[in-house]
Structure 1
């Protein structure tokens, strides 16, 4: 039966490494955490929360959250560990929204609990809201939470924010019902979106079945590195500093003063004249004023930088030493640039260790493509696909020349 009115569920409290959910009762105090928590029961305080007539603690158990209904009478201490903040969060919301339940007798079998939310079928069906003839259950709510990433779940720690999320689900259901009433779910546009969503869902299911990055052996990573070393060659890059003006005459004036200027003098010129305020601080002149970031040489795709106009990119690679200034004003995008060489990064080959994660991600991507190809081949055998080439050609003809008469045969 539900807890008495005196019981209260505390707000969920998430941090970078732990998520806590606690229930405060006149007779009990229980807590669980993602890292670990110690529960020290007292027979007097736990006398109403029992399992086989002895002081007990009940913790949701699923492949994501590992715990159990246990008898901690011996020693009075039990360490509870959890595997997923999503599962702990969903269970916490279950307590917060529906209230804690008293437990007695045997705990429900593990097999009855949802592997994602940790809820039993009965808990999953618990109705949180009714919208028209449809209901929003605790299971619906918990699955919505489970689909969030860990950072998004941080937004829903308090009872107020949890209630807001439920209100969002109600609004979504209201709009969906209205769309159905208006027949929008029958429109070709909706059907096309649904078709794509189903495709993406199946591919996401396939992606979720892939092994973790750590499962690829060092030998596999090393073999890829040796076979694709050119992919890890970083080209020479240079760092252009610019003073940007709206007119050529002003840029020419700045250019004369910038030639041979020290770093601090360059910063003062930029502070006085430049339309580009990057690298400028209100109370000082930076020698890196107008820093556009590193860029590779013109024509080298790897190391491109969209912040650097192509004429500026060309000009900076004509300079020889740090602090050199381009001899001419550079015009680009309707503005005028005075260009200074602010830094260089020589060409180099990334080491095997530096490329380790990049390689593992690529190996996993390739494995996904292989599995996707195998899945499509299997589906083509199961559901043969045929193409009417003549109809396709007629359609292509009409697409290329809409005014042409139809050649469709009677």
Structure 2
């Protein structure tokens, strides 16, 4: 069972307009009390309730300035007030028909209650994120905001230790491989990987072993030597290939496969983003801890043996819905 629209588009737009700017009573989530119990000055009266001047004043105060421009004239105010009253008439009629006990209405109410509980427990009671909190978080995660430039390379080596008898021949081999590399398209990394295999003399060699991953110039120097690091520093665009580089280990070719520029974001530049992130992470941690507490208090347990009997046929046709989609909350994250 699913709801169908009960109101025309113009009428619905009035209802939506009543809540512009802020979620609250103007959205029509609560009905007016009986007329005899109405507190305030009635503006629109009807059997069983009224819309009061005080209510309207509160609702309008919660609207954003743009929405308020649409209730300037007396006629616009009348349309707004009567729209709220008409909504209450529909609420009364729905209750008269017992729709307040409809499964989908009850499910929607449960969802609203859970959302309100989450808001009250984790929004209203949230401690403010202080500048000191932000500064500490920044220092702990500084590598995310300040880091040197890095490059990633595919490294081809024709082994020829210094003093080896075949070093001259190996240099010619490296030059021949360079000639082949320069005939490749700049982004033909697979083609360069094939040359890496050829240089190793092992057709089963894994090109991944030639991947330097992202490294700083200093890390590359430590890994492959100063000659190779100096040649890498001359490569600027992804796809560029170095000249033959001679080192005590042999002859090298490098192909630049990725570039990560230097990152230098001072605290002031990321404070707003960090404030939001810290608040979110704190909220998630508190929700997880609160969920675990509720589960423990309720002796929450799952019978896995029974669960294994649940049948899930991904090929079966979808059955017609017979009720509302149930609410769902994910498992709590491990608390630190």
TM-score tier, shorter chain, comes to: 0.3 to 0.5
Higher fraction of strand: 1
Q: TM-score, normalised by structure 2?
A: 0.41
Which structure would you say has the larger Rg? 2
Q: TM-score, normalised by structure 1?
A: 0.35
